[in-house]
């Protein structure tokens, strides 16, 4: 039998993600019948972690096993999804999507938007899909063993970062070359 720590890791790494897959789409429609199926799997997992009795309540087994309830995990996943959609760059197609509540049928995204409307997202940082644009100049790395060569720079815009290590007894240098001297293939 596995230790409780190993069983908890197995549960959170394999069982919980399988139960929570795409929960942003279907968790709003999770009523009592569907919740009993998920709670049953949650209880079996918590009992396997703690070695508890079959008749133990789900909430008690979850607390003993230090496992989040499925409702907490779904709420956390929904808030994470909402924050990620709010931090998309302005050029992304989802940012231009207007979420107006439909009276007849509200989509899962509209229900999530109405639930998360109280969150202040104005101060969130816009996360771009790359750290450095593909067309920007890259840092050129060169290796010089002569210290005089390392410290000599003819260009005033040249940025030199020199490091030295006692293990290899060598000097390393990273130099940003002017864009006119960078050979392109």
Residue 155 has a CB neighbour count (10 Å cut-off) of: 13
Which pLDDT band, with edges at 50, 70 and 90, does 108 fall under? confident
Buried b (16+ CB within 10 A) or exposed e, 27-50: bbeeeeeeeeebbebbbebbbbbb
In terms of pTM, does the model score above 0.85? Answer: no
Q: What is the pLDDT of residues 27-69, one digit of tens each?
A: 888 888 888 999 899 999 999 999 888 888 888 989 999 999 9
Share of the chain above pLDDT 90, in %: 16
**pLDDT the model gives residue 171:** 52
pLDDT at 154: 65
Q: Which positions ≥6 away from 137 have C-beta within 8 Å?
A: 176, 179, 182
Residue predicted with more confidence, 168 or 142: 142
Q: Which strands sit side by side in the sheet containing 140-142, from one edge to the other?
A: 140-142, 170-176, 159-165
Residue 72: pLDDT above 90?
yes
pLDDT over threshold 50, residue 185: no
CA–CA distances in Å: residue 14 to residues 10, 11, 58, 64, 152:
6, 6, 19, 19, 57
List the domain boundaries for the chain. Answer: 4-116, 140-181
Instruction: Output the average pLDDT for the chain.
Output: 78
């Amino acid at each position: 039998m596995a230790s409780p720590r190993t069983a908890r890791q197995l549960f959170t790494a394999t069982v919980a993600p399988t139960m929570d897959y795409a929960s942003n789409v279907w968790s709003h429609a999770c009523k009592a019948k569907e919740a009993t199926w998920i709670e049953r799997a949650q209880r079996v997992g918590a009992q396997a972690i703690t070695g508890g009795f079959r008749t133990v309540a789900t909430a008690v087994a979850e607390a003993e096993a230090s496992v989040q309830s499925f409702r907490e995990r779904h709420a956390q996943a929904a808030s994470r999804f909402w924050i990620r959609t709010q931090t998309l760059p302005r050029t992304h197609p989802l940012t231009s999507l207007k979420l107006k509540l439909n009276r007849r049928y509200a989509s899962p995204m509209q229900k999530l938007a109405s639930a998360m409307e109280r969150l202040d997202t104005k101060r969130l940082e816009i996360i771009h899909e790359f750290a450095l644009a593909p067309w920007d100049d890259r840092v050129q790395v060169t290796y010089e063993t002569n210290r005089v060569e390392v410290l000599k720079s003819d260009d005033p815009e040249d940025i030199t970062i020199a490091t030295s290590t006692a293990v290899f007894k060598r000097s390393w240098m990273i130099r940003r070359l002017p864009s006119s001297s960078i050979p392109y293939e």
